[in-house]
Structure 1
Amino acid sequence: MNGGFNQPPDIGSAVAEQAVSWLIEMQDGALSPRRQQAWEQWLQAHTEHQRAWEHIQRINQRLRGLSSPLAHAALNAPKTSSRRQAMKLLLLLGAGSALTYGLRDQLPVTPLLADFSSPVGQRRKLQLHDGSQIQLNTASSVDVKFDAQQRVIRLLEGEILLTAAQDSRPLQVLTTHGSLQPQAARLNVRQFSNHTEIAVFSGRVRLTPTVHSGPPLWVEPHQQLSFNRQAWNPPRPLDAGSGAWSDGMLVAAHMRLADFLAELARYRRGQLNCDPKVADLLISGTYPVDDSERVLELLAVSLPVRIKRFTRYWVTVEARA
């Protein structure tokens, strides 16, 4: 992408990111008088700010002439956090590697460039070259790198169900919090912001947290646990609903309504809220994740709640009057 752009002037990475942030904020809508004044003060504070602003505007104009899917999505998508993150990545990459080398790993946009991904509300099956199979849950993404020495699957966001094929090359599944080495295993891996959850259905999995100094843990069949970058919680038996999403189902066993809705919200766009007054109601059953509207209707029948819709994308489950 950089090849057609002029090299950036003498602009520090921090100032470049500030310029990008201002441009993205302006593209999201007219600035308030207070923000307009803040931008003018930032612009006039230093000539480096002015150079950065002029340069980033030129890059923005050139991005609009690109035909890449990522550029098109970033420039034309609704004003969401993902769109702003894509714009930031594109603009910073366009500003030149000298500016962006130290910034790329800090930007939470890697899933936008993933080898494989699934959108919100959809699942996707992959057949890898070694015979392994991956199923991506809603809003999930992975990078896959196989070479002559090793096989590496990096979970960037979301959740996968992996059936690992036997191969002479070692297989690693990487998350933000550690490394998993399946041995002819079938396992579910879900990455959260501060931990990763793993459920092993068959085979064995060797777990090594990122900064763990002791020996690794072998997770045995029919066990699940969560871990962070330093340690793991004790293994426990598989939950009844572990991996049920791969069959399009959400299983609840005496689950708090607030927790159930948080899971259901993963499969639909917009905001799904739970009134604190009904948050602790318990729910059990098996529900189809591909028809969240039908699930909400069932909740209104089986629980003392009603579904309040402000718009299609802003729904609240609250106590029935």
Structure 2
Amino acid sequence: MNGTFNNPPDIAPQVAEQAVSWLVEMQGGALSPRRQQAWEHWLDAHSEHQRAWDHIQRVNQRLRGLHSPLAHAALNAPKSSTRRQALKLLLLVGAGSAVTYGLRQQLPITPLLADYSSPVGQRRTVKLHDGSQIQLNTASAVDVTFDAQQRLIRLLEGEMQLTVADDPRPLHVVTAHGLLQPQGARFNVRQLRDHTQLAVFAGQVKLSPVAHSGGALVVEARQQVSFTAKAWNATHALDAGSGAWVDGMLVAAHMRLGDFLAELGRYRRGQLNCDPKVANLLISGTYPIDDTERVLDVLPLSLPVRVRRFTRYWVTVESNV
């Protein structure tokens, strides 16, 4: 691994216990209004509480893709105490405890222990040893391995934009669905559950899906493509908003409101819902992803919708008719 292994800041054991207790309680059913208010008070009381809550939510989501006794216990234990202990262990392991580096190679929770990561609603720029630059979008994580023969970047989750520096060693970028081999390139790559999206701004990138038996696809500058583990779709010209997140913007060009809110929801904590009655309304414009509340406030000015805030973490956009 990269010699500059970068863990997230430590989370105190008592705070981890509190976060896990809240999650286990929520998994048991909807909170009463009194308990909902108590949770929000706890969450807002300290930045470490917010950091722990963000992290335990990410742990819980990733457990569903793991096949290990620890993950099984966290998800399926019949007693809440067993589940709480498993979740607490995963939270602390992913939060930068002293044993993290050794466990990194033993437990299948690599995204939690990434070399570089960004929390929900934040972006991060990382300068690598070879001069290349990674820009991480919200809730993203990468591992970086450089040696004498090659440079390797694994996109573990989320989205990044990479500007490749000149270096005699080949650079490989790996996602869950394929291998990317850039040449003098600047490109954006986003990993979703069932496919990866690639947009090339400069240079070219050779794409090889992991389970594709044929040749590779060379994606040229000003092109983008989506691919699965077995195949790729037809390439096409860059969308107007490709990579706009680097500048803090979300660009919509006749986008469905449901799709727009799903994108906007990536940049905020909690749940952002869209009433099916208004999901097919079309929206266009350029919107700041660093101020999602402002974006929600202006929606009713251009669309026949209203924004209902049950709490700051549970928001629904619905028809105003």
Relative to the length of structure 1, the TM-score reads 0.72
Seen in structure 2, the aligned counterparts of structure 1 residues 193 and 148 have a Cα distance that, compared at 3 Å, is same
* 2:150 corresponds to: 150
The one-letter code matched in structure 2 to 1:303 is L
Q: Please say if 1:82 is aligned against 2:58.
A: yes
CA distance in 2, matches of 1:31, 1:306: 29
* 2:271 corresponds to: 271
1:91 CA displacement: 8.8
* 1:28 corresponds to: 24
CA deviation vs aligned residue, 1:235-293 (integer Å, no higher than 9, x gap): 11100000000000000000000000000000000000000010000000000000000
Seen in structure 2, the aligned counterparts of structure 1 residues 101 and 272 have a Cα distance that, compared at 3 Å, is closer
1:147 CA displacement: 0.6
Seen in structure 2, the aligned counterparts of structure 1 residues 173 and 83 have a Cα distance that, compared at 3 Å, is closer
* 1:284 corresponds to: 284
Seen in structure 2, the aligned counterparts of structure 1 residues 219 and 79 have a Cα distance that, compared at 3 Å, is closer
The one-letter code matched in structure 2 to 1:28 is V
Contact 1:28–1:79 (8 Å) recurs in 2: no
Contact 2:204–2:218 (8 Å) recurs in 1: yes
Contact 1:158–1:191 (8 Å) recurs in 2: yes
1:76 CA displacement: 5.7
The one-letter code matched in structure 2 to 1:269 is R
1:88 CA displacement: 5.5
Contact 1:118–1:137 (8 Å) recurs in 2: yes
1:25 CA displacement: 8.6
SS at match of 2:266: helix
CA distance in 2, matches of 1:313, 1:247: 25
* 1:219 corresponds to: 219
The one-letter code matched in structure 1 to 2:107 is R
RMSD across aligned positions (CA): 2.9
1:111 CA displacement: 1.8
* 1:202 corresponds to: 202
* 1:44 corresponds to: none
Contact 1:188–1:198 (8 Å) recurs in 2: yes
Contact 2:201–2:221 (8 Å) recurs in 1: yes
Moved more, 255-264 or 110-119: 110-119
1:82 CA displacement: 2.6
CA distance in 1, matches of 2:159, 2:26: 37
SS at match of 2:142: strand
Contact 1:305–1:319 (8 Å) recurs in 2: yes
Seen in structure 2, the aligned counterparts of structure 1 residues 143 and 78 have a Cα distance that, compared at 3 Å, is closer
CA distance in 1, matches of 2:26, 2:197: 42
Q: Tell me the matched-pair count.
A: 252
Residues 53-68 of structure 1: pairs in structure 2 closer than 5 A = none
Contact 1:188–1:199 (8 Å) recurs in 2: yes
Sequence identity percentage: 63
Seen in structure 2, the aligned counterparts of structure 1 residues 101 and 111 have a Cα distance that, compared at 3 Å, is closer
* 2:107 corresponds to: 104
Contact 2:54–2:120 (8 Å) recurs in 1: no
Contact 1:115–1:141 (8 Å) recurs in 2: yes
Residues 233-248 of structure 1: pairs in structure 2 closer than 5 A = 233-248=233-248
CA distance in 1, matches of 2:320, 2:277: 10
SS at match of 1:259: helix
* 2:117 corresponds to: 117
